[in-house]
Amino acid sequence: MSTETPAPAPAPAPGPAKKTNRLGLELSTYRGSKTTLCAGCGHNAITERIIDACYEMGVDAKKVFKLSGIGCSSKSPAYFLNASHGFNSVHGRMPSVATGAMLANKTMMAIGVSGDGDTGAIGIGQFVHLMRRNLPIIYIIEDNGCYGLTKGQFSPTAGMGTKTKNGVVNDLPPIDTCALAIELGATFVARSFSGDKKQLLSILKAAISHRGTCMIDVISPCVTFNDHEGSTKSYAYVKEHDEALGEVTFVPFFEDITVEYEPGTTTEVKMHDGSHLYLKKIAEDYDPTDKLAAARLLHETSRRGEFATGVIYLELDKDDFLTTLNMVDQPLAFLPSEKVRPPRAVLEELMDGLR
């Protein structure tokens, strides 16, 4: 049961068995409420990919926290995973709410959806510290370079020289959230484009397999306020300047598939849950586990006015925040009182120490 308006349950129709995932669940069970975003909004495509990724990975929706801040992007957790608890919190502060929720129950998976204003402006402080802590979370920025819900003002990721619909030119440099995330300590950093179904899906599935902060900046054009000539976040502009790092192939741990590749052409990465990620190298020799190379790549592509997309940085041997806290296995939220209220003798000992 969900308190979101559920789609009426379809009558069981005779016919061929419906396609299900490894949990025996149909794709529809991963859906949420009907979107209220604009038709053609890139965010809806991202929502679809989140649904697909969770379905294909066999994610147990009951074990997911979906969280967001405020803005068009932050509405979207209502549109996927109706069986999960969701929290549309306050502007720019989703990282702290997510941190608290994960402290309370470290067995959960957190999917946080933010926007470029929610992350890069009002929420930059919390973003910085979330990255620094390497909290296990999939943190998605639905990045359209503008504030949609307040009608098209520039956000901090707006490109230098980009124009609003009515001709105002942005003369401040953009914040590169990927470069920032790498610098600060995130252990899975990717950039994608809402229009690239295949790449985004692979990245999301790999993120589900990773234990640590996955920062995924998804360029997601705003069809209403930022899709015109002169914008550096329009569909046309992004398609033209998308510099894919190479094909991203993800093979989950529960699938027995071997990927053949020419030696030296592909980086193979074994993820925390045993899944495999194959990152086909582009012309230059690029190592996604090299922090300096990742930073260089981002700077070089942005200097050329391009968006490097793909898995940009991976660090697999760093403890996540919850591990460093050395908590008991059982979620703190469900510890019985005998575990969290010390016995009478402890109070007596404390009182004796104060006499």
Partner 1 sequence: MSLPLATAEPAGAPPDSHVVNDFSISVATVNGSGSQTANMILLRAMFQMGVPVSGKNMFPSNIAGLPTWYTIRANHKGYMARKKQIDFLVAMNAETAREDVLALDPGRAVVYDAPLKLNELRDDLILYPVPFDRIVAEVCPDAKLRRLVRNMIYDGVLAHLLSIDLGEMEKALSTQMGRKPKAMTLNMSAIEAGAKYAAEHFPELRHPYRIQRLNKTDGQILVDGNAAAAMGCLFAGCTVVAWYPITPSSSLPESLIGYMRKYRMDKETGQATFAVVQAEDEIAALGMVIGASWAGARAMTSTSGPGISLMSEFAGLAYYAEVPAVVFDIQRIGPSTGLPTRTAQGDILSTAVNSHGDTKHVLLLPSSMAECFDMAGDAFDLAERLQTIVYVMSDLDLGMNTWMSEPFTYPAKPFDRGKVLDEAKVRELGVTWGRYKDLDDDGIPWRSLPDTNTPPFFTRGSGHNSQAQYSERSDDYVTNLDRLAKKFETAKGLVPQPVEDAVAGATVGIIAYGSSHWAVTESRDQLRDEASLETSYLRLRAYPVPKSVEDFVRRHDRVYVVEQNRDAQMLSLFRMDLDPALQSRLRSVLHYSGLPLDARSVTQSIVAQENQ
Name the residues that contact partner 1, by CB under 8 A. 1-5, 33, 62-63, 65, 67, 77-78, 82-90, 93, 95-105, 107-108, 125-126, 128-129, 325-329, 331-335, 337, 339-342, 344, 346-347, 350-351, 354-355
Considering the complex, state which of residue 67 and residue 190 has its C-beta at the smaller distance from partner 1: 67
Residue type, 154: F
Tell me which DSSP letter residue 277 carries. Answer: E
Find, among 171, 153, 176, the residue nearest to 161 by Cα. Answer: 171
Q: Smaller CB distance to partner 1: residue 258 or 337?
A: 337
Minimal distance in Å, beta carbon 183 to partner 1?
16
The residue among 84 and 231 lying less far from partner 1, judged by its C-beta, is 84
Give the nearest distance from C-beta 46 to partner 1 in angstroms. 18
Shortest distance, CB of residue 155 to partner 1, whole angstroms? 20
Q: Which two tokens stand for residue 47?
A: 């929502």
Work out how close the CB of 294 gets to partner 1 at its nearest, in angstroms, rounded to a whole number. 25
Enter the DSSP assignment of 186.
-
Q: Tokens 């994960």 sit at which residue?
A: 102
Q: Compute the half-sphere exposure of residue 81: CA atoms within 13 Å on the CB side of its CA.
A: 29
User: Nearest distance from residue 225's CB to partner 1, in Å?
Assistant: 21
Residue pair 75/36 in contact by the 8 Å Cβ criterion: yes
The least CB distance from residue 108 to partner 1, in Å, is 6
Minimum CB–partner distance for residue 218 and partner 1 (Å):
22
Beta carbons of 181 and 141 less than 8 angstroms apart:
no
Of 260, 316, 262, nearest to 288 by C-alpha is 316
In whole angstroms, give the CA distance from residue 333 to residue 191.
34
Judged by CB, which is closer to partner 1: 128, or 149?
Answer: 128
237 DSSP 8-state letter = H
Q: Provide the pairing of β-strand 109-115 with 64-68.
A: parallel
**Residue 80 or 286: which CB sits closer to partner 1?**
80
- Residue 123: both structure tokens together: 């929420």
Edge-to-edge strands, sheet with 276-280: 248-251, 276-280, 266-270
Q: Give 50 or 201: the residue with its C-beta nearer to partner 1.
A: 50
CA dihedral 319, 324, 326, 332 (to 10 degrees): -100
Nearer to partner 1, 74 or 164 (CB): 74
